[in-house]
Amino acid sequence: MSKHVLLTGAAGFVGHHIVELLLRKTDWCITVLDRLDFSGNLNRLQDILSDFPADEKKRVNILFHDLKAEINPLLSSFINNPDIILHVAAGSHVDRSISHPLEFVYDNVVGTANILEYARALHADKKLETFLYFSTDEVFGPAPNGIAYSERARYNSTNPYSATKAGGEELCVAYRNTYNMPIMITHTMNVFGERQSPEKFIPSTIRKVNEGQSVTIHSDRTKTKAGSRFYIHAKDVADALYFLITTKPATEPDVGGANCPKFNIVGKEEIDNLQLAQLIAASQNKELIFEMVDFHSSRPGHDLRYALDGSLMKSLGWEPQIAFSARIKEVSDWYLNNPKWLGL
């Protein structure tokens, strides 16, 4: 029998890629929940749905809701008993979390509590197969050179965004421990791809290179070492989530008895932002114009290097299949062929 998925934040950047993958790989019904704020854009869903025939589009049911409010009985009847909940919705703008931290407490902690309460009722009625909470590498804080954090590393949040994502994680762990709910948690970092907000580093660099503008590269205080990340394409993230919810791999409790499964979804290659900008310029056959800027002074609350250990997912049989340089070329070409998504 076909499954039914509830996906929160489906009009967001990562969320709409998940919808596209589920439409292509499954016959599942997909209920999407979004409040359509700055991050949510129905045009993303319209863009991907235009590639599918009418009978496939009917599998997607779009609902408006802000998770700062509970899921009431009427909305619950519209959702209609999903088997799987993918909780991807979140406030994720680090700069705004620094200036408006309480917004992120409401979105990422209270919002997570509300969707967990809805899931708890489903679990009590034996209708819930899986609840997946989509978290971030930023809960672990900056990573020194040579260090990549495992799934159960300690938290070291350096801004309100990461702190509230860690708070949402701990609520999920508590609901797993208290109510024995089928919850798993993922961490991922620096996702890129088609239809990302044009203010983000990769699409903004694609635009600036194309227009011959200077690209700002955040670096250390000496302005000689650029910040680095393990970038990963949103299609790979969607594929990893699909792998997890279909295989449901077990993980061993740690020495303290922690048994909520956690999985790092990581790009294969670490690359610094100067190298990344150079790859984008090379993909357009253009010279890179850039300026190194001290990131501490220009972006307080941001970190120079993040790193996750992806060995667990690799041991389970999943890792990205397409090289990062090929993905960058693919994405750069796509944006230049779809300039409206660069705000042009």
Q: Indicate which residues carry an active-site annotation.
A: 137-138, 161
| 36 Cβ contact list (under 8 Å, min separation 6) | 11, 42, 64
DSSP 156-195: ---SHHHHHHHHHHHHHHHHHHHH---EEEEEE--EE-TT
Residues pairing with 310 in the sheet = none
The residue type of 106 is: Y
**Phi and psi for 157 in degrees, rounded to 5?**
-65, 135
Beta pairing class for 290-294 and 215-219: parallel
- Residue among 306, 328, 13 nearest 158 (CA): 306
**How is residue 34 annotated by DSSP?**
E
**Strands (DSSP E) found in 99-167:** 130-136
